[in-house]
Amino acid sequence: MAFKLPALPKLSGRTIAVLAAVGAVAVGAVAANASKQESPAAGAPPAAPAPKAPADQTASHDATAAEMKAAAALPQCRSARLVPVNRSWGIPMPSIYASTSTTCNLMYGDDPYRGSNRYGEPDTAIQVLQRNLNFCYATKLAVDGIYGSNTRAAVKLVQRKHHLVIDGIYGPKTRSAMNWRLYSMATRSWSRSCSSPL
């Protein structure tokens, strides 16, 4: 069974104009009422200012920015060395050229040198990092010695997993938090699993 709607009466041009005017007045009245509610009345106390970010969030943001700046200011890792863990095992990791220090960084764009200095082997340092990321974090990176977008994304994954600042820069905090595959010079063999012995 089909329903039939009643026919609406035809409105004259004058009736349509009157209805439009009434609608405009109603809309204007609603808008005026809304603006009165938003602006404070004369003599009324001003509205409270918008809440600011808590001090601990601001401090956290400042600390994160400072940490990122400090990480970026370190020298580039231009070598790799075996860092002893105990008598039998060590960790191959990026290091400063001609030094025992591993307080250096690798970052997006290192392919292999950063700046005008051409010494050391930063591509070796990057390859050591890439191999470790592949084994311990199953990242499937090309071990090419180029710190490109895939390597940066893998480092960010590590930083997220270990609750670090996620900036994609391999530096001392990332180095100390991440898992490493150990190598034994005595037996010339690799560990079967990864650990974070630092």
Q: How far is CA 89 from CA 36, 131, 191, in A?
A: 75, 17, 9
Query: Coil, helix or strand for 1?
Result: coil
Domain containing residue 87: 75-195
> What integer pLDDT is reported at residue 5 of this predicted model?
46
**Would you state the pLDDT for residue 9?**
54
CATH number at residue 158: 1.10.101.10
Domain count, the chain: 1
Asked if residue 25 is part of any domain, the answer here is no
Q: Where are the alpha helices (DSSP H) in 74-142?
A: 122-137
- Please name which of 3, 173, 163, 140 lies closest in space to residue 74, comparing C-alpha atoms: 173
Instruction: Say if residues 77 and 125 touch (Cβ distance below 8 Å).
Output: yes
Q: Is residue 22 one of the residues assigned to a domain?
A: no
pLDDT tens track, the chain, 198 positions: 554 545 555 555 555 554 555 455 544 544 455 445 544 444 545 555 545 555 555 555 665 677 667 767 899 999 999 999 999 999 999 999 999 999 999 999 999 998 888 899 999 999 999 999 999 999 999 999 999 999 999 999 999 999 999 999 999 999 999 999 999 999 999 999 999 877
Phi, psi at 113, each rounded to 5°: -90, 150
Asked whether residue 29 is assigned to any structural domain, the reply reads no
Answer whether residue 175 is part of any domain.
yes
Q: What per-residue confidence (pLDDT) applies to 179? A: 97
The predicted pLDDT at position 3 comes to 47
Q: Is residue 151 assigned to a domain?
A: yes
pLDDT at 188: 94
Predicted local distance difference test score (pLDDT) of residue 33: 53
pTM for the full predicted model: 0.67
Considering only CA atoms, which of 28, 51, 170 is closest in space to residue 107? 170
pLDDT digits (tens, 9 = 90+) for 135-175: 999 999 999 999 999 999 999 999 999 999 999 999 999 99
What lies within 8 Å, CB to CB, of 184 at 6+ separation is 88, 89, 90, 190, 191
The answer to whether 177 and 162 are in contact (CB under 8 A) is yes
pLDDT at residue 15, rounded to an integer: 53
Helix (H, G, I), strand (E, B) or coil at 33: helix
Strands in 11-103 per DSSP E: 79-84, 89-95
Place of tokens 């008598």: 87
Is 119 a member of any domain?
yes
Cβ density class 152-163: b for 16+ within 10 Å, e for less: bebbbbbbeeee
Q: Residue 128 and residue 145: Cα distance in Å, rounded?
A: 8
Distance CA(154)–CA(134), nearest Å, equals 9
- Residue 93: exposure state from Cβ atoms within 10 A (0-12, 13-18, ≥19): buried
**Residue 41 counted as domain residue:** no
In a domain, residue 5? The reply is: no
